[in-house]
Copies of this chain bind each other. A is one copy, B any other.
């Protein structure tokens, strides 16, 4: 889960840990701020696995320096110093990570992996990264979530109607049912949209896409 989110962010450019943490909340709609105690070990793990590697800051591939200079002289000097020796980086300076080819493969695997992490957050994350999936894979993702939500809605509706609940407990389960049916309608709209684009394929169908069904 966290690995997938990190790799997803790094698809769009090199980032250091602190910045990744900031964007995890903003971009991917992840509810809680991931703590450093989780994030840094995860990055170290990914680096050890060869999925990312640390590069010198302000390296030319991406994450452009937002103009000719940041206006900060000592910042530029620090960057130069860091560039001078990537390995002998000062103990606690920025450590910028970049996705490797191996990391891209891992990303694809994690994104397509249907079994792992079947909760709502995992679904939101995968859908947020939907542009890296084919139309077919996206549709399947949405359908699976639709089924899960429908099942849960049936359970909740059942509990609300049959059991003897006091007014507060009832109030809670009814709101839960309401939220779930709202989710369901949303999913159905999305599925319909995907189906439409599938039958009437336009321009950007399968670029960056995950192979739909070859295991």
- Total copies of the chain: 2
Count A-side interface residues using an 8 Å CB cutoff.
31
Q: Which residue of B lies closest to A152 (CB)?
A: B31
Nearest CB in chain B: distance from A66 CB, A = 13
Nearest CB in chain B: distance from A105 CB, A = 21
Any B CB within 8 A of the CB of A127: yes
Let me know if A131 and B167 touch, CB within 8 A.
yes
Let me know if B173 and A29 touch, CB within 8 A.
yes
User: Chain B residues near A128 (CB, 8 Å)?
Assistant: 168-169, 172
Among the stretches A39-47, A50-58, A174-182, the one at the interface with B is A174-182
Secondary structure of the A side of the interface? helix
Let me know if A168 and B131 touch, CB within 8 A.
yes
A179-B179, A179-B182 given; A29·B130 CB < 8 A:
no
Let me know if A159 and B26 touch, CB within 8 A.
yes
Residue interface bits A182-202, CB-to-B below 8 A is 1, else 0: 110010001000000000000
Contact residues of A with B, CB < 8 Å? 25-29, 124, 127-131, 155-156, 159, 163, 165-169, 171-173, 175-176, 178-179, 182-183, 186, 190
A179-B179, A182-B182 given; A172·B29 CB < 8 A:
yes
User: Chain B residues near A163 (CB, 8 Å)?
Assistant: 26-27
- Which of B29, B129, B165 sits near A27, CB closer than 8 Å? B165
